[in-house]
């Protein structure tokens, strides 16, 4: 027997401890090298801790919900052990095979035998699942048999389920036919759930931003006709050449980079008694993750192409869903873009992402009547909201920034001519 210790790895210079989330491997289960065994939640991100060794998980030394420091011992792996026998869904098969087969004297006698193989196939819903996989399956009400498992013995992994959801291959379970007649168990009238470390930290920082900054929001609206026409015209060529869809975020990112260069105060921050002006644009892109909102950063976005921007954002979205965003990828932002429109928001006032001094809120595109050259026309319009710290950004600068973003989006040629 060779026992190896597993400790919490270094997760960033500013991270000293984390909270144990979900154990992905049970004691006695086989573990491959670099296979995730537990989720750890820090102040900034939830991430999976892989096993540096292949073997069998011998001990879990911390429980879900425990607070652990970086470098703390959390588990032990037996690198020479073998996995304990787990109950498999195929167990009915030996019983069916051991039963004496009746002589094929009649058609009715052979029918049960013909259907026997179908009975021995294990339903996917009975296959063992890790807590993380079971949570996703239950949350989305998925039919496990619609997902192809790539784990040991065909088990479903977290990546399998998320990939099936993203590709649209995962089916949802339909309600029973007599569900309407059956009494509905709504469960308890109240439920108390402990806040995750990430949620507590997020709440504290948002409140700190509200208490510290002199926050104000200014609004404008943009006619999205030109952007939508450009996307429609070039979407197929763009996808064929770059293997990524042409979305709205690349247009908004480029427009913001141009406006930030013209109005540098919007890209600045207060540090003590000094104002720090950034001569680069590190654009934070707010994305939704299972454990809350996270803001990965497009570094030097002013130098990125449309394709590079779309590829980076798509990669951030996938990492956020998989819980694989690193702390380094969420640090160093100078300005943030939040797209509430994907959830149907028509207008909102986004809150600052401290220590940044401004954040742009995008919203739902909605057809509205507008006056164009003295005529009433129906145009796809979007409200824009810029929340900013009035201690460093004046109203004139905030309005100018929004107007420059509006002009660039309504005439995308400006993005190409750098105007």
Residue of 322, 390, 411, 418 marked catalytic? 390
Backbone angles phi, psi at 18, to 5 degrees: -150, 175
Ramachandran category for residue 168: left, alpha or beta (phi over 0 → left; psi -120 to 50 → alpha)? left
SS (H, E, C) 311-375: HHHHHHHHHHHHCCCCCHHHCCCCEEEEEHHHHCCCCCCCCCCCCCCEEEEECCCEEEEEEECCE
Answer positive or negative: Cα dihedral of 54, 56, 57, 59: negative
With beta carbons less than 8 A apart as the criterion, state whether 410 and 223 touch: yes
Q: Which of 171, 155, 167, 188 is nearest to 35 (CA)?
A: 155
Backbone angles phi, psi at 29, to 5 degrees: -85, 145
Q: How far apart are CA 63 and CA 77, in angstroms?
A: 16
Q: How far apart are CA 63 and CA 46, in angstroms?
A: 16
Token couple for 386: 């810029």
SS (H, E, C) 121-156: CCCHHHCCCCHHHHHHHHHCCECHHHCCCCCHHHCC
394 catalytic per annotation: yes
With beta carbons less than 8 A apart as the criterion, state whether 347 and 295 touch: no
| Torsion angle of the four alpha carbons 361, 367, 372, 377, in this order, in degrees rounded to the nearest 10 | 180
363 catalytic per annotation: no
DSSP category for residue 250: H
Residue of 66, 242, 394, 418 marked catalytic? 394
Which residues are catalytically annotated?
A: 390, 394
């Amino acid at each position: 027997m060779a026992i190896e210790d597993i400790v919490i790895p270094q997760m960033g210079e500013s991270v000293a401890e984390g909270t144990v989330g979900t154990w992905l491997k049970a004691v006695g289960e086989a573990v491959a090298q670099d296979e995730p065994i537990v989720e750890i939640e820090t102040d900034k991100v939830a991430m999976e801790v892989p096993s540096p060794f292949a073997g069998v998980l011998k001990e879990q030394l911390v429980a879900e919900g425990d607070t652990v420091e970086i470098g703390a011992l959390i588990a032990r792996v037996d690198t020479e052990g073998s996995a304990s026998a787990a109950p498999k869904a195929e167990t009915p098969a030996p019983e069916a095979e051991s039963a004496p087969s009746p002589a094929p004297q009649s058609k009715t006698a052979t029918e049960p035998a013909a259907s026997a193989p179908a009975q021995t196939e294990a339903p996917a819903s009975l296959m063992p699942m890790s807590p993380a996989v079971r949570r996703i399956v239950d949350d989305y009400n998925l039919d496990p048999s619609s997902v192809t498992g790539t784990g040991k013995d065909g088990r479903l992994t977290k990546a399998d389920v998320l990939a099936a959801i993203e590709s649209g291959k995962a089916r949802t379970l339909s309600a029973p036919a007599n569900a309407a007649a059956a009494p509905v168990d709504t469960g308890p009238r109240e439920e108390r759930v402990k806040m995750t470390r990430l949620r507590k930290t997020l709440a504290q920082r948002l409140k700190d931003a509200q208490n510290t900054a002199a926050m104000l929001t200014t609004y404008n609206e943009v006619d999205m006709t030109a952007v939508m026409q450009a996307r429609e015209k070039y979407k197929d060529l763009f996808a064929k050449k770059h293997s990524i869809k042409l979305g709205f975020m690349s247009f908004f990112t480029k427009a913001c980079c141009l406006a930030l260069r013209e109005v540098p105060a919007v890209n600045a921050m207060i540090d003590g008694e000094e104002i720090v002006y950034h001569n680069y644009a590190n654009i934070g892109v707010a994305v939704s993750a299972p454990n809350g909102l996270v803001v990965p950063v497009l570094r030097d976005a002013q130098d990125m192409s449309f394709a590079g921007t779309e590829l980076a954002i798509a990669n951030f979205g996938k990492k956020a869903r998989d819980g694989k965003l690193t702390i380094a990828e969420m640090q160093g932002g100078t300005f943030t873009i939040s797209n509430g429109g994907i959830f149907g928001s028509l207008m909102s006032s986004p809150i600052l992402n401290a220590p940044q001094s401004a954040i742009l809120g995008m919203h739902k595109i909605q057809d509205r009547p507008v006056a164009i050259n003295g005529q009433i026309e129906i145009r796809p319009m979007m409200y824009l909201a810029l929340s900013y710290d009035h201690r460093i950004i004046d109203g004139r600068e905030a309005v100018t920034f929004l107007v420059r973003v509006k002009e660039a989006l309504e005439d995308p040629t400006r993005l190409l001519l750098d105007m």
